[in-house]
Structure 1
Amino acid sequence: MKVKSLLAKPLAYYVHAHIRKSMHTAVADQEAILKKLLAAAAQTEFGKDHNFGSLHSHNEFRQAVPIRDYEQIKPYINKVKEGKHNILWKGKPIYFAKTSGTTSGVKYIPITKDSIPNHINSARNALLCYMAETGNSSFADGKMIFLSGSPELERIADIPTGRLSGIVNHHIPSYLRTNQLPSYPTNCIEDWETKLDKIIEETISKDMRLISGIPPWMQMYFDRLAERSGKKVGQLFPNFSVLVHGGVNFQPYSARLFETIGRKVDAIETFPASEGFFAFQDTQDGEGLLLNTDSGIFFEFVPAGEIFNENPTRLSLRDVKVGENYALIINSNAGLWGYNIGDTIKFVSVDPYRIVVSGRIKHFISAFGEHVIGEEVEHSLLKAARDQGVQITEFTVAPMVEQGKGKSYHEWFIEFDEVPANLQAFADSVNENLRQKNIYYDDLIRGSILLPLRISVVRKNGFIDYMKSIGKLGGQNKVPRLSNDRKIADELKPWTM
């Protein structure tokens, strides 16, 4: 055992023990965090506008602070961008995380001195919990790759501004810098394909042991490695043992990723966003991600069907139930209040509080009243793929609305590793799975309002070429699983077979 892995183990056991202890104090920790947040922000402009000084409970807080999305909190953020202090949080942010929103264009999410530990420590804790549980610390002695955005930052009101992954890159501990790849100059390359080629050059002959990124990025990286070397990734990197992923549901990508690797490696799932690091996989046994209940964020949970109501139910942690679909609302020491991050989650356990990400609030299909969500389409496709031994590269779904009863349908755009020999049988299987998962969809099929779904096959690398054509290749950009209109579907047509 080398020095870094040797030194990491005591820290891993200490942090793991602390996290296990905090599992049992999650509700009390959340209540304490809300009180601390209100006290700390009482003299800010937002705090004065919403009477923070006189709020003493969650019930009083939810009456005083409405749920907001980015557009609704943007007037406060604009004041911060103008250089004003004490607006959403005391002082001013130390960073703006710049992210592309689907409805708000570019968003500027504040990161404060108080909130940056949430981003940094949560990523660290995920790795340390893995070390403590499995005993595998050897990855700390080899090279690690963090597929991230550019760490080069611009300034807005003298606040460093850039992609979250680029910001976090500046906070990698110095003792890991010698392990980290790619190099800083390579990480600063904006063009994704140029950057990827350079990453290949820098890593192909190294002792890679940990690889981290969102699954579509990693698949592109693995494919290029295999093309260049003629080997499986697991052969090329014999000591590669840990894959860290987040940003999208891993399951649609997992079969092909592990096929490209050529063997099983341990995977650690995380739930980070520009607004905060919300949860991480703390164990290799069992389902779900441990909610970050003691890290500067007070969580609220709105039943997903109520999120667009004028006065939706807002639950605290003590009131949630296993299996319910909730919109995730955060209040944080970054100065985000009643903030709807746009994701839905389900609890798979409340002892401890573990969640799975079930979808995006605005990513659904309900052109005919079916309200199909991301979790349902992913389940339906993956079950058919498992049953028939099919590997999926990427997919998205949109409604096709035709005039006349019984003429409309859902169109599935799917890029396969290899197209099934009987595509219709595969489509029928997906359709049946979705009918079993969503009773409204089943009623529409049964009543001949909708035709069974149809599959449009996207050619090899079609989704990559599509993302390139709209200037969204690489970065944190992802293809939405669902759209309630035809915009993406129509743009994808040139890449179908």
Structure 2
Amino acid sequence: MKSVLLRPYATIVRRRLRHRAALAIEFQEEIRQDLVRTARDTRFGQDHDFGAIRSHQDFAERIPIGDYEAFRPYADRIKAGDADVSWPGRPRYLAKTSGTTSGVKYIPLTRESLPNHFGSARNALFNYVAETGHARWLNGKMIFLSGSPEMDNTNGIPTGRLSGIVNHEVPAWLRTNQLPSYATNCIEDWETKLEAIVDETLHADMRLISGIPPWVQMYYERLLARSGKSTIKELFPNLEMFVYGGVNFEPYRESLERLVGARIPSVETYPASEGFIAFQDSQTEPGLLLNTASGIFFEFVPTEDMGSDRPRRLTLGEVETGVNYALILSSTAGLWAYDIGDTVEFVSLSPYRIRVTGRTKHFISAFGEHVIGKEVEAALRAVADRHRVEVTEFTVAPQVAPPTGLPYHEWLVEFGRPPEDAERFAADLDRAMVEQNLYYRDLIEGKILRPLVLTSLPAGAFRRCMKESGKLGGQNKVPRLSNDRKIADRLGT
């Protein structure tokens, strides 16, 4: 019944998306003006002379590009309960997230910014219905693998992870389709929670599954172990749709399709705590449709300009295909010229479709963990001091598909003075990383990852590697973090 009733609305949603995409430049200019006008009397607006902003040039001159560290003084006031800091009033939620550039962040979600997050997710699904005609997923059960919906209280502001906040905003018409139950979602221990999810879904008519690929893979494996079935399609014959985002799907595609027993149509999304940025609007065309009419004003800085005193800040009408841009956003959440740390490339200008090309800084997020340089450096420094070892050089890389066992982070370390007990050193280092990064902790405790693997390299290993790659000397440095195994594999040869 729902699929029949909602098909006409899905057609309207797709038509509206196309209309707005065709007028993307006009919508972007209107959003910029509305943002400035609305926030003119906030503390941020007064500090940056919003009353004098008439053009994008004025906007760029008065509001410098900054990451969370630049925004932190305002974020701290918001967390303290102050009103009218960077957006009128107080936020409805604070999304707590471990960022790839600034550790733990508290991102405001306002009454005006919530439709960007939840309306965009709805639009992505309804657009798929209108494009393909496939709507049977609306008649069965859906699962959204997410964090706990339980909230902390930050001076009267509910605070939690974005995936948990989502559970509080699911529309009533969808709640009867949604699994797992609220009680199961509140279970903190991942293994206990996963078993409860399997209990609830094992005999359900699952039609749509959404989540980060490594977590979904673990869910599938538990389902098959419990059911005795050989594929997920045998267990869920009506499974029609997979929705994902957060990490690159390609490393997981082969294993997930093997577990499912078929290629399931999928919709890729590009959500972040700072805003729902883009989503896949076509099953045939590459790229993700940029969310140009949803309360976010975008600027694009050529990556070679990042870090310069006067970076070029391009509006949507000035971008080109095939160029790598740092993504900068201002929004109804009260974020201004905010560098989220992602780089994108346009694959189409009509409509404006992008693909994510990487991060502006080195990181590891092969499993959604968002491990950053300062975290690994702080962990290694503390443990090295405790064990009285000397580290000459090191790098960290993910091992997504080991020959046996769970995936892991491999630490390749060249010691000047090695630890007396390498196993204990590695265990202490893993515990230090668990303390540094809450997402890494979740993955370890949830047994998505096994504890890190320490590989001791012989003296001169990094020097030889740099020399062989033509990067010995000068300003060339060994990246502390990689999101692939290019450096790690070179070091291992």
Q: Matches of 1:152 and 1:99 in 2, distance apart?
A: 15
| Correspondence for 2:317 | 318
Q: Matches of 1:477 and 1:8 in 2, distance apart?
A: 39
Q: Give CA-to-partner distance per residue, 1:101-130, whole Å, 9 cap, x none.
A: 345332100000000000010000000000
Alignment-mate amino acid for residue 416 of structure 1: A
| Correspondence for 1:416 | 401
Q: Give CA-to-partner distance per residue, 1:37-91, whole Å, 9 cap, x none.
A: 0000001010011111110111110111001111111101111111111110001
| Correspondence for 1:79 | 77
Shift of 1:8: 1.0
Q: Matches of 2:321 and 2:439 in 1, distance apart?
A: 41
1:191 and 2:186 aligned: no
Q: In the comparison of the two structures, how many residue pairs are matched? A: 411
Q: Matches of 1:92 and 1:416 in 2, distance apart?
A: 45
| Correspondence for 2:90 | 92
- Secondary structure at the counterpart of residue 416 of structure 1: coil
Question: Which region of structure 1 is more displaced relative to structure 2, 266-275 or 354-363?
Answer: 354-363
| Correspondence for 2:199 | 201
Alignment-mate amino acid for residue 290 of structure 1: L
Contact preservation (8 Å) 1:282, 1:289: yes
Q: Matches of 1:287 and 1:21 in 2, distance apart?
A: 19
Q: Matches of 2:69 and 2:446 in 1, distance apart?
A: 21
Contact preservation (8 Å) 1:397, 1:411: no
| Correspondence for 1:294 | 293
Q: Matches of 1:351 and 1:469 in 2, distance apart?
A: 37
Contact preservation (8 Å) 2:31, 2:296: yes
| Correspondence for 1:278 | 277
Provide the identity percentage: 52
Question: Which region of structure 1 is more displaced relative to structure 2, 60-69 or 103-112?
Answer: 103-112
Shift of 1:240: 0.3
Q: Matches of 1:282 and 1:478 in 2, distance apart?
A: 30
Instruction: Mark the CA change 1:363 to 1:263 in structure 2 (over 3 Å): closer, same or farther.
Output: same
| Correspondence for 2:442 | 472
Structure 1 segment 86-485 matched on structure 2, within 5 A: 86-231=84-229, 232-363=231-362, 413-416=398-401, 471-473=441-443, 484-485=479-480
Q: Matches of 2:285 and 2:82 in 1, distance apart?
A: 47
- Secondary structure at the counterpart of residue 23 of structure 2: helix
Q: Matches of 1:488 and 1:355 in 2, distance apart?
A: 20
| Correspondence for 2:61 | 63
Instruction: Mark the CA change 1:295 to 1:255 in structure 2 (over 3 Å): closer, same or farther.
Output: same
Q: Matches of 2:483 and 2:135 in 1, distance apart?
A: 43
Shift of 1:325: 0.8
| Correspondence for 2:465 | none
Over 6 Å off, 4+ runs:
408-411, 466-469, 474-479, 486-489
- Secondary structure at the counterpart of residue 114 of structure 1: coil
Alignment-mate amino acid for residue 110 of structure 1: P
Contact preservation (8 Å) 1:192, 1:474: no
Q: Matches of 1:54 and 1:477 in 2, distance apart?
A: 54
- Secondary structure at the counterpart of residue 328 of structure 1: strand
Contact preservation (8 Å) 1:187, 1:195: yes
Q: Matches of 1:263 and 1:103 in 2, distance apart?
A: 37
Instruction: Mark the CA change 1:334 to 1:290 in structure 2 (over 3 Å): closer, same or farther.
Output: same
Contact preservation (8 Å) 2:289, 2:353: yes
Q: Matches of 2:272 and 2:195 in 1, distance apart?
A: 27
Q: Matches of 1:411 and 1:104 in 2, distance apart?
A: 19
Aligned-pair Cα RMSD in Å: 3.4
Q: Give CA-to-partner distance per residue, 1:193-244, whole Å, 9 cap, x none.
A: 1111111111111100000011111111111112222321111100001000
Q: Matches of 2:208 and 2:88 in 1, distance apart?
A: 38
Alignment-mate amino acid for residue 473 of structure 1: L
Q: Matches of 2:111 and 2:446 in 1, distance apart?
A: 24
Q: Matches of 1:259 and 1:328 in 2, distance apart?
A: 35
Q: Matches of 1:186 and 1:409 in 2, distance apart?
A: 41
TM superposition score normalised by structure 1: 0.77
Contact preservation (8 Å) 1:249, 1:357: no
Contact preservation (8 Å) 1:149, 1:476: no
Question: Which region of structure 1 is more displaced relative to structure 2, 178-187 or 303-312?
Answer: 303-312
Contact preservation (8 Å) 1:397, 1:410: no
Contact preservation (8 Å) 1:112, 1:334: yes
Please, which runs of 5 or more residues in structure 2 have no aligned partner?
374-392, 405-429, 450-477
TM superposition score normalised by structure 2: 0.77
